[in-house]
Structure 1
Amino acid sequence: MSPLRVTQAKSIIDSQEKHRRTVRALGLKRIRDSRVHQDTPQIRGMLHKVRHLVTVEEVSEVSE
């Protein structure tokens, strides 16, 4: 499976506490902040939970 680039697209100010914690657990701190994660079922579940706050794209190589 290819890595996933996760980018925070919206603010977490009015979000539920669970969603805030999930976004922070993904390593995102502010809008337009990105992190690369391996495509695992655990990460996919976290992304599904906060799909309205983040954008996800597959990347062919890991480069920060």
Structure 2
Amino acid sequence: MARLKVVQKKSTIGTKPQHRETMRSLGLKRIGDIVVKEDRPEIRGMVKAVDHLVSVEEVE
């Protein structure tokens, strides 16, 4: 199954509270943090909500 590598590129300072909560739910706390998540619709939706703060690539 495919996996998504999510990297935090920008700070959450000054963002909406929902975006900060989404970042924490993804497991991202600071710039440069990397998490690998299963490629599921729930994760894709979370990433889309904060796509201006993160970069994403598919890994196996």
Q: What interval of TM-score do these two structures reach, taking the shorter chain for normalisation?
A: over 0.9
- 1:23 corresponds to: 23
Structure 1 residue 9, shift from structure 2 partner:
0.4
Normalized per residue, the structure richer in strand is 2
Cα deviation, residue 33, structure 1: 0.2
List runs of 5+ in structure 2 lacking aligned partners. Answer: none
TM-score, length-scaled by structure 1: 0.90
Give the total of aligned pairs: 60
TM-score (norm 2): 0.96
Ranges in structure 1 where 5+ consecutive residues have no aligned partner: none
* CA deviation string 1:5-34 (max 9, x = no partner): 000000000100000000000000100100
Alpha-carbon distance in structure 2 between the residues aligned to 1:9 and 1:54: 5
Amino acid aligned to 1:47: V
Larger radius of gyration: 1
